């Protein structure tokens, strides 16, 4: 059943091939000094940087640069960003990039006016912000994380070998996000498919929990079907605007809290993948892909009805004269087939993990309790071995 919950998501989304111009509508609402957050500089090659700078200048903003945000933003980088924001008394954080830039901006946003160390406060003690939040806006250049319309932020601590996410509340969500599907087209194919699998897995993490067949399950299936259909077009022709736009829009709705309403939610694939990421620094979506099939095959018996439904509703597999076990197995086989077509990494060895890391990755894996089976540490280790 749909339990008791609340829902609010006030992020304004501007979607389309002309959406950047709406920065002109948003920027006047915020103060003069803008911290411009971006990654390794690809936005300088493809011209987005120049366009954004022009709009910032036209709106009379003072721009403070904060570049070099890495695919898995580190706690060291976070502390640097907080320092920049404090020294320049910034009024607004504008992230231009993928989910890592948005994640990082949100982590900076809740830390600027807090005295505590952000890693300890938010990623170890999981406290909520009790200081002024600096507002965030995003110009998204990669579809995947959903960070453009949620309060989530994932930060990596290489020293502690931990990659931890904190989902902050409504106030930390971006005030607006600009979604231009064309911006996602310049990504290498490997990044594109990693993002697509990240989207798909976000949906799975919420779908494979509870047996209640509520509205959220139907919406989750809808998003999965749309992602499957459009990913197969995009992997053949990455320039297909229709496919890229549907993928980008699905990504936003896959992780903005809607499809988790009334669900317990799992997130164990993310916990496993993030631990692998902390050891290998591999692309987030690929770490999820590499552990997914061993994980789902392991938990399938504990949620057999839902895995059978997954087969018929998402993959269109006929249920005639089949047991739920047969159907569930066929559904995961269809998932594997699709993952191979996209060219995803299906083992963690390919991502740089070695057998001697298994104990450490096991220890770095946070065990959550929302899925069909609460894993023991030993089960985590077996799934990771199976993923090698």
Residues lying near a second copy in the complex (CB under 8 A):
1-19, 22, 181, 212-215, 218-219, 221-223, 225-226, 229, 241-242, 245-246, 249-250, 253, 258, 261-262
Name the minimum Å distance from CB 156 to a second copy: 31
**Residue (66 or 205) nearer to a second copy, CB:** 205
Name the minimum Å distance from CB 225 to a second copy: 5
**Residue (74 or 256) nearer to a second copy, CB:** 256
Name the minimum Å distance from CB 303 to a second copy: 19
Q: Which residues pair with 178 in a beta bridge?
A: 14, 139
Q: Which residues pair with 103 in a beta bridge?
A: none
Say if CB 92 and CB 58 are below 8 A apart: no
CA distances from 373 to 83, 216, 287 (A): 42, 20, 21
Name the minimum Å distance from CB 140 to a second copy: 14
Three-state DSSP state, 139 = strand
**Residue (158 or 229) nearer to a second copy, CB:** 229
**Residue (51 or 379) nearer to a second copy, CB:** 51
Name the minimum Å distance from CB 185 to a second copy: 14
**Residue (160 or 233) nearer to a second copy, CB:** 233
Name the minimum Å distance from CB 220 to a second copy: 8
Cα gap 310→316, rounded to integer Å: 9
Name the minimum Å distance from CB 242 to a second copy: 4
**Residue (30 or 249) nearer to a second copy, CB:** 249
Cα-based angle 129, 150, 152 (whole degrees, multiple of 5): 55
Name the minimum Å distance from CB 258 to a second copy: 8
Say if CB 196 and CB 342 are below 8 A apart: yes
Say if CB 5 and CB 262 are below 8 A apart: yes
Name the region of 266 (left: φ>0; alpha: ψ -120 to 50; beta: rest): alpha
Please identify which residue in the block is written with the tokens 């995947």.
144
Edge-to-edge strands, sheet with 62-66? 62-66, 33-37, 92-97, 136-140, 176-179
**Residue (103 or 313) nearer to a second copy, CB:** 313
**Residue (199 or 300) nearer to a second copy, CB:** 199
Please identify which residue in the block is written with the tokens 């077509």.
341
Cα gap 267→286, rounded to integer Å: 15
Cα maximum dimension of the chain: 68
């Amino acid at each position: 059943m749909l339990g008791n919950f609340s829902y609010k998501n006030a992020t304004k989304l501007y979607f389309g091939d002309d959406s950047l111009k709406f920065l002109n509508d948003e920027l006047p609402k915020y103060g003069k000094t803008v911290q411009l957050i971006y990654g390794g500089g690809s936005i300088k090659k493809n011209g987005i940087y120049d366009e954004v700078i022009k709009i910032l200048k036209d709106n009379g903003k003072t721009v403070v640069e904060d570049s070099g945000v890495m695919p898995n933003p580190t706690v060291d980088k976070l502390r640097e960003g907080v320092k920049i924001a404090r020294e320049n008394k910034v009024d607004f954080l504008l992230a231009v990039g993928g989910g890592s830039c948005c994640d990082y901006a949100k982590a900076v946003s809740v830390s600027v006016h807090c005295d505590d160390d952000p890693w300890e406060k938010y990623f170890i003690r999981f406290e909520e912000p009790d200081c002024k939040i600096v507002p965030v806006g995003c110009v998204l250049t990669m579809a995947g994380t959903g960070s453009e319309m949620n309060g989530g932020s994932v930060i990596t601590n290489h020293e502690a070998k931990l990659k931890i996410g904190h989902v902050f509340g409504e106030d930390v969500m971006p005030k607006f996000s600009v979604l231009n599907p064309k911006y996602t087209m310049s990504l290498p194919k490997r990044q594109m498919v990693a993002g697509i699998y990240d989207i798909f897995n976000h949906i799975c993490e919420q779908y494979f929990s509870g047996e209640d067949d509520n509205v959220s399950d139907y919406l989750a299936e809808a998003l999965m079907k749309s992602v499957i259909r459009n990913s197969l077009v995009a992997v053949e022709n990455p320039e297909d605007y229709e496919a890229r736009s549907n993928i980008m829009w699905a990504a936003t709705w896959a992780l903005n809290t809607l499809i988790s309403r009334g669900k317990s939610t799992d997130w164990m694939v993310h916990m496993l993948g993030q631990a692998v990421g902390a050891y290998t620094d591999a692309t987030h979506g690929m770490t999820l892909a590499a552990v997914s099939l061993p994980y789902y095959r392991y938990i399938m018996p504990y949620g057999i009805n839902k895995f059978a439904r997954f087969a018929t509703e998402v993959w269109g597999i006929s249920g005639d004269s089949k047991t739920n076990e047969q159907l569930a197995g066929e559904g995961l086989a269809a998932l594997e087939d699709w993952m191979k077509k996209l060219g995803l990494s299906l083992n963690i060895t390919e991502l740089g993990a070695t057998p001697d890391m298994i104990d450490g990755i096991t220890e770095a894996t946070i065990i959550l309790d929302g899925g069909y089976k609460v894993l023991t540490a030993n089960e985590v280790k077996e799934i990771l071995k199976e993923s090698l």
